[in-house]
Amino acid sequence: MPTSRSYGDACTIARALDVVGERWALLVVRELLLGPQRFSDVRRALPGASSNLVTDRLRELEGRGVVARRPLPPPAASTVYELTEWGRELEPVVLTLGDWGARIPRPQPASLGVTSVLLYLRGSARPHGTACYRVELDSRVWTVRTEPGRLTVEPGEPDGPDATIRTDPPTLNALLEQPSHLDEAIDGGRLTIEGDRDAVRRLLREHES
């Protein structure tokens, strides 16, 4: 159930944790960094959290002004959650926390979600050229665009992509770490490419390890 617990501490750090310090709250924020998401998308991205818990965190974050709900126009007939302007100010906080956590050994076993891999791609990429990619991960489609020095990610179908990539988050993450294994992943059926395969090779190689 939703909680209204407080540290009762006037320190601004404590006051921030009153808003986003509950378990799973910052991971809900993480899932919304790349754009609006349906409840089912957020729930699927957090397999360790129950539906009721995700509902509670979203409700709390909405009540605090971090998250907003927005109905989609017909024929979608569904509601999405998105970060408010104030909520988006958490992005550098969350990403810096991720950088800090990179030195902590990965738990075993551990899941790896779509948003985490795409945030890593966006943050580490240093592209030199311009290209557009359709990236399909776990049956969800994302548009990835590159231009010199910048990579963007947003949900949804792109117009006229140079290449389409279909795979799963662990495979994409492994290829970002070892791009030379691309042919092996294709031969093993873990990844498929339609379109410009060389453009995909550039995407995988133009990032910082």
Shared domain check, 144 and 96: no
Q: Distance from CA of residue 57 to its chain's centroid? A: 18
In this structure, the answer to whether residues 46 and 71 fall within a common structural domain is yes
Domain closes at, from 102, 129, 145? 102
Question: Taking residues 165-194, what's their average pLDDT?
Answer: 95
Question: What is the number of domains present in the chain?
Answer: 2
Number of residues written out for the chain: 209
Angstrom distance (rounded) from CA 11 to CA 123 = 31
Helices vs strands, H then E, count in the chain: 10, 8
Amino acid at 189: G
Q: At 36, which CATH number?
A: 1.10.10.10
Q: Is 174 helix (H, G, I), strand (E, B) or coil?
A: helix
- The one-letter code for the residue type at 117 is V
For 14-69, what is each residue's pLDDT tens digit? 999 999 999 999 999 999 999 999 999 999 999 999 999 999 999 999 999 999 99
Task: Identify whether the C-beta of residue 169 lies closer than 8 Å to the C-beta of residue 117.
Answer: yes
Say what the pTM is. 0.89
- State the Cα–Cα distance between residues 2 and 54, nearest whole angstrom: 10
**What percent of the chain is predicted at pLDDT more than 70?**
96
Same domain, 89 and 32: yes
State whether 70 and 90 are in the same domain. yes
Lowest mean pLDDT among 89-93, 105-109, 129-133: 105-109
Q: How confident is the model at residue 100 (pLDDT cuts 50, 70, 90)?
A: very high
Tell me the Cα Rg of the chain.
18
Question: Is the same domain home to 160 and 201?
Answer: yes
Task: Print the domain residue range for 198.
Answer: 114-206
Per the CB < 8 A criterion, the answer to whether 24 and 53 are in contact is yes
Q: Which two tokens stand for residue 131?
A: 């290209």
Same structural domain for residues 159 and 94?
Answer: no
Which pLDDT does position 120 carry in this prediction?
93
